[in-house]
């Protein structure tokens, strides 16, 4: 684990301890980015799924869409193209539901 990863992991623990669910979810996203940078796609996916679960729990639809696009990308990185498409379609559906026309255009 890199120094950045250790800092992010500790930050995630403090957010969890303080009850900052959104901050905790964002830390999991950051940890996912650290893991992808060293090619650990399973750990990246694990952290993205944790973030997604929290984003759903707190009703952060934009955050949920962001997790979906990141999960799609990790599946694409390992050749799981059906799962990649599934996550991108989920992101698009969320963007449509919340009326994010710009977000729809980038899907």
- Spatial distance between the Cα atoms of 35 and 57, rounded to a whole number of angstroms: 24
- Locate the domains of the chain by residue range: 3-106
Tokens of 55: 């984003």
Q: b/e string for 18-38 if b means 16 or more Cβ within 10 A? A: eeeeebbbbbbbbbbbbbbee
What's the whole-model pTM score?
A: 0.81
- Count other C-beta atoms under 10 Å from residue 44's C-beta: 25
What is the tens place of the pLDDT at every residue in 24-83?
A: 999 999 999 999 889 999 999 999 999 999 999 999 999 999 999 999 999 999 999 999
Architecture field, domain 3-106: Alpha Horseshoe (1.25)
Instruction: Name the region of 79 (left: φ>0; alpha: ψ -120 to 50; beta: rest).
Output: left
């Amino acid at each position: 684990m890199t120094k950045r990863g250790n800092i992010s992991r500790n930050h995630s623990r403090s957010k969890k301890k303080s009850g900052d669910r959104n901050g905790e979810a964002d830390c999991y996203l950051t940890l996912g980015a650290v893991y992808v940078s060293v090619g650990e796609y399973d750990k990246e996916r694990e952290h993205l799924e944790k973030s997604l679960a929290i984003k759903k729990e707190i009703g952060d639809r934009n955050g949920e869409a962001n997790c979906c696009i990141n999960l799609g990308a990790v599946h694409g990185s390992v050749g799981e193209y059906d799962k990649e498409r599934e996550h991108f379609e989920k992101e698009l559906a969320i963007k449509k539901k919340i009326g994010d026309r710009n977000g729809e255009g980038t899907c």
